[in-house]
Structure 1
């Protein structure tokens, strides 16, 4: 636990537990469905394995996370106390959408975008068999420029190396604009009409792609207009 505020206020006591760097983002990932250490790392790529282990130990000791060992690996699951943090995480995200200004260039991460999107695929909408969607961000650094989502009606997987399957649809996009699509700031059709997002492949698949991806949980949050 972090340093004490030495206040009896429950807000202060809660923040003693949750305001250490990365702690609430670990909770965010658990709320989003991550259960395994490597999945948590993919959702939090800038945290070191050592620090992630420390934060998980901290949350486990506080009764927020339960560590469930098995023969193959370990799962981290929110306890009832941890599950009560889900609406708090949602409220913080909604507040950020409404009141935090434009994203900085260093906030734009294709790895996080594809990780978020792969776990929000509408598997009931994807074609039978295997469908590979390629993503290219031309202005991103070379090692973060190309990504692949491998989709089946049973699962979605994100790859940062060519999985070796034929690409059914290629998405070439300005990274910032595709993040805007994910966040619900612009629609697929508006981004494509502006030339910021281009889809290549069979016409039927190009038309279907937007329906395969659910938007962010915060996409429906009402925005604050300049007149508000």
Structure 2
């Protein structure tokens, strides 16, 4: 737990638990469904493993998270107190969508983008069998340029790969990283992005048209934006 503000105000007491760097983002990942340490790391790719371990220990000590052994694994689960933070996380995200300005280049990360997309796959909308979506980001560093989502409708399975998994590619999405991030955030629509030169989908026409429907819209993408000043 962070240092005490030495105030009786419940906001101050809550922030003693939540306002250390990364803490609320760890809660965000748990709200989003991550349960394993490695999954939490993938949702927080710029957070060191040692700091993640420390923050989890602090959240366990505060009664927000419980650590539950499961065979050879350990699950991290929100307690009743932790689950009450879900609307707080969603409200903060909605506020950020509405009132925080342009994304900086440092805010763009294909690892995090693909990880979040894989959590929102609508498996019922996928074609039968295995679907492989190859994402190419030509403007990024070579090691971050190519990604694959391997999706299986019957098993409701979705894997994120940063190396070619060796399966035939169903469709290829070539996009600017900023463009696809804006689509995912709901700042622009798939249709608008496809009309620009920043996003292209290659593959059979029926699958090209179907691809946007393979992903469920995030709660933040549905937040109404404030009107643009005249």
Shift of the alpha carbon at 1:95? 0.2
Shift of the alpha carbon at 1:216? 2.3
Shift of the alpha carbon at 1:227? 3.1
Cα offsets for 1:6-34 (capped at 9, x unmatched): 10000000001100001000000000000
- Which position in structure 2 is the counterpart of 1:26? 26
Partners of 2:201 and 2:25 in 1: CA distance: 33
| 1:1-228 aligned within 5 A | 1-153=1-153, 154-227=156-229
Across the two proteins, how many residue pairs are aligned to each other? Answer: 228
Unaligned 5+ residue runs, structure 2?
none
Divergent runs of 4+, >6 A: none
TM-score, normalised on structure 2? Answer: 0.97
Secondary structure of the structure 2 residue equivalent to 1:63: coil
Partners of 1:226 and 1:217 in 2: CA distance: 21
Shift of the alpha carbon at 1:72? 2.1
Partners of 1:156 and 1:190 in 2: CA distance: 27
Unaligned 5+ residue runs, structure 1?
none
Partners of 1:145 and 1:10 in 2: CA distance: 46
TM-score, normalised on structure 1? Answer: 0.98
Secondary structure of the structure 1 residue equivalent to 2:167: coil
Cα offsets for 1:37-60 (capped at 9, x unmatched): 000000001111111111000000
Partners of 1:227 and 1:200 in 2: CA distance: 37
RMSD, aligned α-carbons: 0.9
